[in-house]
């Protein structure tokens, strides 16, 4: 088979809204300092739940953060984060769609799984239940507020609709959901659209908020969340032997991706080259990762091959590292299988130790973290690690963030349902390192 | 596809919808001009835990899948953990896999080759996303907690199934088809509302193009036959009380269907070497967005026009090469008009026969595009473009628009399949069939 000449893709803009900062630099600073975003949940009264803690976005004023206030009327909480982060990414890149080139701009997003949040569900409850049983004809009551704006808010591509309208993107647009791998897969989809020449620039990212009564219920029912309610800042401790579940976060991350030559031509600042994307399906169990890493291994290897580099060039891995027993063990097994004897030369950290798990946004936010790590030659700390786990004996960045020249960085996202996504980012100056 | 390392072919297909549970059965109904849209009867207990009579409901027609879930996918354990719309995806995917014979190659392989084969076999699903009724599991809990949050949290584990989150995962079909078939390669679950499933086909082609996989199963599935969905579409003025009339002057909206569709796509070289029978070739696709929010459409049909041009360019075709168009034709006022205008602005007065199938099996939302693709490949094979049986008189604003009043032969073996969605999304697939 002939090899295709792969178009090079540059990352030229980054925007973030996370539990540790409402923009890119404040998030990055908090991650470098190892500051946790974990706290008692304040969005709603979580006192009755088995988990009362989460990593909420704090002090976010979406009216100030988003470009188009009118759109906010129909926006969910996650949509608000998306608008703000996407706006930051575009202004950072110093370029935005114009009437002339809007059809050459694309959008690829990892969007959440929420169908409705508690408040909208409660309206249906008020009109259309009797003693907790659904009575559909209640929806036909004259005064039932069947608000089209609320309906549109919960369509599977409502975030996409909002973002394309807000920024005037008229080309390829797609929304993917593979649970925790969504954000990474969205960036992979963007990479392919660019390589195929379907777009010149793509706004790619993820956004999610499951920190509401319905969202958190799903994870509480599965027993997936840490119940360290008296220690919210230390609850997420990926790879620590005493880890006991993840800390639910929320937020959004966006990258501006563009043709390398076009970025050079316009003298854009280039954070990194998006080198490769790898995907696999573990085909093991819906919620668990395979203990031997079979699944994640293939995603990582494919991403390396797609980027045209060897495992030996990876200096930093931003791990999926959810802080659940099974995930962290499976991921370490995969890293050992891929890196072999060299595994100790690779610095590994999970920034979920600070931000918690941003679900559909996680892969995109962590992709941004890899780019910032390359820019500043620093691997952010894997916070809260105190008790080594013999199953997770990789070279973790513990104690404090680590100065490190990074030739290439790997970002892993391993989702519920078994979708694994790996992305490789290359240092724009890696030839000289 | 431009710069592709080789041809990408379709080697198997699967379908389930109100008009049948096999390609042959759906074809018979299409060719006979028979619709499966009828008044629905929820009393049959198809919807869990609540009764939904027709009394007082503004929209009473839909195209329902006739078969019981348990007949479609005879796995009792699975029925406890996933929903009806997921069954449609699993059924269609496994029918397509069976039809293509693609997994049979594994039978005589040693363990290592089988692993390698599985790693190069992808699965991309277009899903409609969540349903409203999945959340009704929380109603008894809200009641028990006196609508107060602390009690809601405390009683959660006693009132709601522990598997709730797993049942509502939008990527369930991906997980289960993957596990059942050990398809371990590249994958995605696309949630682009009505454009989900053609995007799955397009992304599958793109992944084969990028050499991430040698073969991919692309699937679409959905069912929105539930009270809230129907009410909200009705309130937006999108639902008709009768069989939809694509491109007709008197059209009044769309009607929901439900079901799933799937195709197996592989590199031609490999398909030929294993002696597979080839249903057609994937030539290219176009994907555009109109940037006008969720429900608004560009009145000029610009988004449709650009998507068609992009698909033709990707497929390296000229408009006159196209033999037929399977339009989105959902029967709503704005969508059909702008789609017609978009087609006209590409083809001028020389438009190939245009058909649309939603009069037969309704609008399958997340599954719509792939089901249309499966039937378009069949149309080419049979060499006959079925008429739009509900069409009486083409909209006056679409002067000379060749929407099919009677059945015609396609003018070549190339077809375009158009699919549109909320968000102003337009996907156009260009395919070559085996002209019969």
Q: Are residues B287 and B325 in the same domain?
A: yes
HEC sequence for B163-223 = CHHHHHCCCHHHHHHHHHHCCCCCEEEECCHHHHHHHHHHHHHHHHHCCCCCEEEEEEEEE
Whether residue B248 lies inside any domain: the answer is yes
Neighboring chain A residues of B160 at a CB cutoff of 8 Å: 217, 221
Neighboring chain A residues of B290 at a CB cutoff of 8 Å: 164, 170
Is A286–B127 a contact, with Cβ atoms under 8 angstroms apart?
A: no
User: Which of B119, B144, B165 is a domain's end point?
Assistant: B165
Q: Are residues B248 and B324 in the same domain?
A: yes
What domains appear along chain A, each with residue ranges and CATH number?
9-115+154-427 (3.40.47.10), 118-152 (no CATH)
* Residues 6 or more apart whose Cβ sits within 8 Å of residue A379: A316, A347, A349, A373, A397, A401, A402, A404, A406
**CA B85, CA B69: separation in Å to the nearest integer?**
9
* Amino acid A433: pLDDT: 66
pLDDT digit string, tens, across residues A15-51:
999 999 999 999 999 999 999 999 999 999 999 999 9
Whether residue B2 lies inside any domain: the answer is no
Q: Tell me the nearest-neighbour CA distance from A287 into chain B, angstroms.
A: 8
Is A218–B165 a contact, with Cβ atoms under 8 angstroms apart?
A: yes
Residues of chain A with pLDDT > 90: what percent? 87
CA distances from A199 to A121, A264, B397 (A): 39, 17, 33
CA distances from B320 to A24, B260, B317, B346, B349 (A): 50, 32, 8, 10, 11
* Amino acid B49: pLDDT: 58
pLDDT digit string, tens, across residues B158-206:
999 999 998 899 999 999 999 999 999 999 999 999 999 999 999 999 9
pLDDT digit string, tens, across residues A172-198:
999 999 999 999 999 999 999 999 999
Is A139–B123 a contact, with Cβ atoms under 8 angstroms apart?
A: no
For residue B83, is pLDDT > 90?
Answer: no
Q: Are residues B426 and B286 in the same domain?
A: yes
Q: Which band of pLDDT confidence, cut at 50, 70 and 90, is reported for residue B46?
A: low
Nearest CA in chain B to A44: B149
Q: Are residues B104 and B232 in the same domain?
A: yes
User: Which of B118, B144, B165 is a domain's end point?
Assistant: B165
pLDDT digit string, tens, across residues B141-153:
999 999 999 999 9
For residue B32, is pLDDT > 90?
Answer: yes
DSSP SS3 for B147 = coil
Of A49, A170, A174, the CB nearest to B291: A170
Q: Tell me the nearest-neighbour CA distance from B408 into chain A, angstroms.
A: 33
Is A129–B3 a contact, with Cβ atoms under 8 angstroms apart?
A: no
Whether residue B41 lies inside any domain: the answer is yes
**CA B193, CA A127: separation in Å to the nearest integer?**
27
Mean pLDDT of B37-54: 67
Mean pLDDT of A273-287: 94
**Domain boundaries, position B148:** 134-165
Q: Which band of pLDDT confidence, cut at 50, 70 and 90, is reported for residue B45?
A: very low
| Average per-residue pLDDT for chain A | 94
Neighboring chain A residues of B287 at a CB cutoff of 8 Å: 171-174, 198
Mean pLDDT of B251-275: 96
Q: Are residues B261 and B159 in the same domain?
A: no
Q: Are residues B109 and B251 in the same domain?
A: yes
Whether residue B1 lies inside any domain: the answer is no
CA distances from B387 to B319, B325, B405, B417 (A): 22, 12, 5, 16
pLDDT digit string, tens, across residues A386-416:
999 999 999 999 999 999 999 999 999 999 8
Nearest CA in chain B to A305: B212
* Amino acid A139: pLDDT: 92
Whether residue B335 lies inside any domain: the answer is yes
For residue B42, is pLDDT > 70?
Answer: no
For residue B44, is pLDDT > 70?
Answer: no
Whether residue B360 lies inside any domain: the answer is yes
Backbone angles phi, psi at B338, to 5 degrees: -70, -30
Whether residue B413 lies inside any domain: the answer is yes
| Residues B143, B207 contacting (CB under 8 angstroms) | no
Best of A122, A161, A203, A223 to disrupt the B interface (most B CBs within 10 Å) is: A161
Mean pLDDT of B75-101: 93
Neighboring chain B residues of A196 at a CB cutoff of 8 Å: 1-3, 206, 209
Is A114–B178 a contact, with Cβ atoms under 8 angstroms apart?
A: no
Q: Are residues B24 and B149 in the same domain?
A: no
Q: Are residues B154 and B202 in the same domain?
A: no
pLDDT digit string, tens, across residues A330-355:
999 999 999 999 999 999 999 999 99
Does residue A130 or residue A147 have the better pLDDT? A130
pLDDT digit string, tens, across residues A135-147:
989 999 999 987 7
Best of B6, B80, B116, B186 to disrupt the A interface (most A CBs within 10 Å) is: B186
Q: Tell me the nearest-neighbour CA distance from B133 into chain A, angstroms.
A: 9
| Average per-residue pLDDT for chain B | 94
pLDDT digit string, tens, across residues A209-247:
999 999 999 999 999 999 999 999 999 999 999 999 999
**CA B30, CA A147: separation in Å to the nearest integer?**
37
Q: Are residues B329 and B273 in the same domain?
A: yes
Q: Are residues B249 and B371 in the same domain?
A: yes
Q: Tell me the nearest-neighbour CA distance from B316 into chain A, angstroms.
A: 14
Q: Are residues B187 and B294 in the same domain?
A: yes
The tally of domains found in chain B comes to: 2
* Amino acid A72: pLDDT: 84
| Residues A187, A277 contacting (CB under 8 angstroms) | yes
| Residues A309, A347 contacting (CB under 8 angstroms) | no
Mean pLDDT of B55-64: 87
| A311: number of Cβ within 10 Å | 17
The CATH number that applies at residue B43 is 3.40.47.10
Whether residue B234 lies inside any domain: the answer is yes
Mean pLDDT of B369-381: 98
For residue A119, is pLDDT > 50?
Answer: yes
Q: Are residues B358 and B419 in the same domain?
A: yes
Neighboring chain A residues of B193 at a CB cutoff of 8 Å: 155-157
């Amino acid at each position: 088979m002939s090899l295709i000449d792969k178009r090079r893709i540059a990352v030229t803009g980054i925007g973030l809204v996370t539990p540790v900062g409402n923009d890119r630099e404040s998030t990055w600073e908090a991650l470098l300092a190892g500051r946790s975003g974990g706290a008692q949940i304040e969005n709603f009264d979580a006192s009755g739940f088995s988990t009362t803690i989460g990593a909420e976005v704090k002090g976010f004023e979406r009216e100030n953060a988003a470009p188009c206030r009118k759109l906010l009327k129909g926006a969910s909480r996650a949509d608000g984060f998306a608008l703000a982060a996407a706006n930051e990414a575009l202004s950072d890149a110093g370029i935005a769609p114009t009437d002339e080139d809007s059809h050459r701009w694309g959008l690829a997003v990892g969007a959440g799984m929420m169908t409705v949040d508690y408040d909208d569900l409660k309206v249906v409850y008020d009109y259309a239940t009797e003693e907790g049983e659904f009575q559909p004809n209640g929806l036909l009551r004259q005064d039932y507020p069947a608000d089209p704006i609320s309906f549109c808010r919960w369509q599977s591509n409502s975030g996409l609709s909002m973002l394309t309208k807000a920024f005037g993107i008229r080309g390829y647009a797609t929304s993917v959901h593979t649970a925790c791998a969504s954000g990474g897969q969205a960036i992979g989809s963007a990479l392919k659209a660019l390589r195929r020449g379907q777009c010149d620039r793509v706004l790619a990212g993820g956004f999610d908020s499951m920190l509401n009564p319905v969202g958190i219920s799903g994870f509480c029912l599965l027993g997936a969340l840490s119940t360290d309610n008296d220690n919210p800042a230390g609850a997420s401790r990926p790879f620590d032997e005493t880890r006991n579940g993840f800390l639910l976060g929320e937020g959004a991350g966006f990258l501006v991706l563009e043709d390398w030559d076009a970025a050079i031509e316009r003298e854009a600042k280039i954070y990194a080259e998006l080198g490769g994307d790898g995907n696999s399906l573990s085909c093991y169990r819906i919620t668990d990762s395979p203990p031997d890493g079979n699944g994640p291994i293939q995603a990582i290897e494919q991403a390396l091959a797609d980027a045209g580099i060897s495992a030996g060039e990876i200096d930093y891995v931003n791990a999926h590292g959810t802080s659940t027993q099974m995930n962290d063990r499976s991921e370490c097994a995969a890293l050992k299988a891929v890196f072999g004897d060299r595994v100790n030369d690779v610095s590994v950290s999970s920034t979920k130790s600070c931000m918690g798990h941003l679900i559909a946004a996680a892969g995109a936010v962590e992709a941004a973290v890899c780019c910032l790590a390359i820019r500043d030659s620093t691997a952010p700390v894997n916070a809260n690690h105190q008790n080594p786990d013999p199953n997770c004996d990789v070279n973790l960045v513990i104690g404090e963030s680590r100065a490190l020249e990074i030739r290439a960085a790997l970002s892993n996202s391993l989702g519920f349902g078994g979708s694994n996504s790996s992305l490789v980012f290359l240092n724009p100056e890696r030839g000289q390192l | 596809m431009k710069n592709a390392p080789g041809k990408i072919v379709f080697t198997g297909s699967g379908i389930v919808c109100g008009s049948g549970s096999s390609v042959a059965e759906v074809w018979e109904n299409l060719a006979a001009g028979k619709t499966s849209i009828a008044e629905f009867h929820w009393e049959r207990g198809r919807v869990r835990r609540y009764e939904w009579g027709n009394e007082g409901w503004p929209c009473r027609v839909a195209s329902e899948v006739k078969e019981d879930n348990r007949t479609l996918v005879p796995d009792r354990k699975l029925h406890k953990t996933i929903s009806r719309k997921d069954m449609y995806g699993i059924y269609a995917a496994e029918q397509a896999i069976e039809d293509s014979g693609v997994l049979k190659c594994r039978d005589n392989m040693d363990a290592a080759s089988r692993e390698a084969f599985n790693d190069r076999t992808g699965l991309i699903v277009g899903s409609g996303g969540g349903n409203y009724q999945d959340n009704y599991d929380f109603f008894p809990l809200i009641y028990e907690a006196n609508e107060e949050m602390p009690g809601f949290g405390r009683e959660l584990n006693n009132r709601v199934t522990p598997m709730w989150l797993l049942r509502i995962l939008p990527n369930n079909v991906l997980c289960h088809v993957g596990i059942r078939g050990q398809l371990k390669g590249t994958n995605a679950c696309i949630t682009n509302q009505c454009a989900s499933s053609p995007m799955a086909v397009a992304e599958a082609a793109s992944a084969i193009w990028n050499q991430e996989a040698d073969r991919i199963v692309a699937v679409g599935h959905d069912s929105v036959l539930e009270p809230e969905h129907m009410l909200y579409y009705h309130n937006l003025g999108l639902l008709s009380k009768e069989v939809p009339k694509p491109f007709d002057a008197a059209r009044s909206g769309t009607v929901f269907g439900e079901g799933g569709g799937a195709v197996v796509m592989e590199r031609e070289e490999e398909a030929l070497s294993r002696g597979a029978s080839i249903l057609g070739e994937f030539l290219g696709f176009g994907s555009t967005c109109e940037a006008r929010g969720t429900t608004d459409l560009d009145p000029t049909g610009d988004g449709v026009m650009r998507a068609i041009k992009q698909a033709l360019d990707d497929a390296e075709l000229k408009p006159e090469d196209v033999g037929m168009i399977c339009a989105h034709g959902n029967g709503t006022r704005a969508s059909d008009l702008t789609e017609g205008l978009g087609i006209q602005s590409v083809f001028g007065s020389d438009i190939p026969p245009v058909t649309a199938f939603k009069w037969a099996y309704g609008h399958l939302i997340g599954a719509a595009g792939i089901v249309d693709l499966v039937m378009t490949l069949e149309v080419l094979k049979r060499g006959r473009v079925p008429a739009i049986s509900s069409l009486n008189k083409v909209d006056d604003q679409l002067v000379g628009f060749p929407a099919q009043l009677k059945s015609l032969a396609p003018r070549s073996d190339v077809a375009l399949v158009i699919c549109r969605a909320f968000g102003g999304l337009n996907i156009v697939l260009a395919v070559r069939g085996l002209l019969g």
